[in-house]
Amino acid sequence: MRLGVIDIGSNTVHLLVVDAHPGAQPLPAFSHKTELRLSESLGTDGRVGDETADRLVAFLGECLVVADDQGVSDLFAFATSALRESPNGDEVIARVRDETGIELEALSGPDEARMTFLAVRRWFGWSSGRLLVVDIGGGSLELAAGLDEEPDVALSLPLGAGRLTRERLPQDPPTPAAARELRSYVRATLAEQVRPLLRSGVPDRAVGTSKTMRSLARIAGAAPRDDGPFVRRSLTRDDLRGIVGRLADLDSAARAGLPGVSVGRAHQLYAGALVAEAALDLLQVEQVDICPWALREGLILRRLDHLTT
């Protein structure tokens, strides 16, 4: 069957069409996305403005046409932190339903962590033993650890790369004072929450997912995306120390010239690097392997599970 999943994230809105069958790897068939930058377009009160909502509804209408053209038999949609936390998020969700017919689900932070963990477990398999997963999004940081497909610990923290850039790094490049303050804030916030992860046991494999981690690994010398998903890619604490120091002096335009860094996300990469470095330090991890699957794939896998039971 063909499944379509629409991911309304803090930076992009992405329709991914996959060929999916029980017991088989979901294979990407088509992708349609736009950089809505939802988290950056919120008002000072955190509300989604009418213009942004208009663009969201219009793009979701496009997604319906694309899904129909691609022969999608099951389409579902979800939103993450930017819409979940907005004071008028429920109103936007209702408008989406009324104008497009799409039933949009706002995932909780722990559910994001759980679904990403499921994707990582299925990708690396049972032989990886105890997993620790670090997922840096635009609005939040998700952390999960465990031995099974359901993690023992699943956390979501307000440490997304886009959120931190918007709220704490107004200048480009950041001033040394702002960079120091952000580093301290990230580490203090993370330190308050890591105890359950540390108590869950030493991971046999630590994994990083999503665009920020992939970009940082690429800067560190990991294989480019065109080499395919099965090439092993990793990122170390030593890599991150060097990258953080390098990015601090670069503006967004210069960062966009680095390998694996898109123009649309270059401005938030420094904040993302600080979060990644802090996570590996405080979780006492020397290296993470990069997983090509993340939240979208986790939701697809769970959808398949439910369709076949």
pLDDT at 25: 87
The answer to whether domain 2-106 and domain 110-295 are alike in fold is: yes
Mean pLDDT in residue range 205-218: 97
Pick the CATH number of 2-106 from 3.40.50.300, 3.10.20.600, 3.90.190.20, 3.30.420.40: 3.30.420.40
- The CA dihedral of 135, 261, 37, 17, to the nearest 10 degrees, is -70
Average pLDDT rounded to a whole number, residues 114-121: 98
For 196-242, the DSSP string reads HHHHT---SEEEEEHHHHHHHHHHTTPPPGGG-TTS--EEEHHHHHH
Computed over every residue of the chain, the mean pLDDT equals 94
Q: Region 27-32: what's the mean pLDDT?
A: 95
**What per-residue confidence (pLDDT) applies to 186?**
98
pLDDT band, very low/low/confident/very high, at 105 (cuts 50, 70, 90): very high
Which pLDDT band holds residue 309 (cuts at 50, 70, 90)?
A: low
3-state secondary structure of 258: coil
The pTM of the full predicted model, rounded to 2 decimals, is 0.95
What's the confidence (pLDDT) of residue 149? Answer: 96
Residue 241 has a pLDDT of 96
118 — pLDDT class (breaks 50, 70, 90): very high
pLDDT per residue as tens digits for the range 249-285: 999 999 999 999 999 899 999 999 999 999 999 999 9
Check whether 23 has a pLDDT greater than 90: no
* pLDDT (average), residues 205-231: 96
At residue 81 the predicted structure's pLDDT band, cuts being 50, 70 and 90, is: confident
Q: Is 188 left (phi over 0), alpha (psi -120 to 50) or beta?
A: alpha
pLDDT at residue 281, as a whole number: 98
User: What is the CATH code of the structural domain delimited by 110-295?
Assistant: 3.30.420.150
Question: Element (H or E) spanning 257, and its range?
Answer: none
CB 112 within 8 A of CB 80: yes
Across 62-88, average pLDDT: 94
Distance CA 194, CA 210 (A): 20
Q: What is the pLDDT of residue 242?
A: 97
Peptide bond into 173 cis (omega under 30): yes
pLDDT of res. 46: 85
Angle of CA points 193, 195, 200, to nearest 5°: 125
User: Quick one: pLDDT band at residue 246, thresholds 50, 70, 90?
Assistant: very high
Any idea where the domains of the chain sit in the sequence?
2-106, 110-295
How much is the pLDDT for 11?
86
**pLDDT reading at 308 higher than 70:** no
42-62: per-residue pLDDT in tens?
Answer: 878 889 999 999 999 999 999
Cα atoms in the Cβ-side hemisphere of radius 13 Å centred on 71? 6
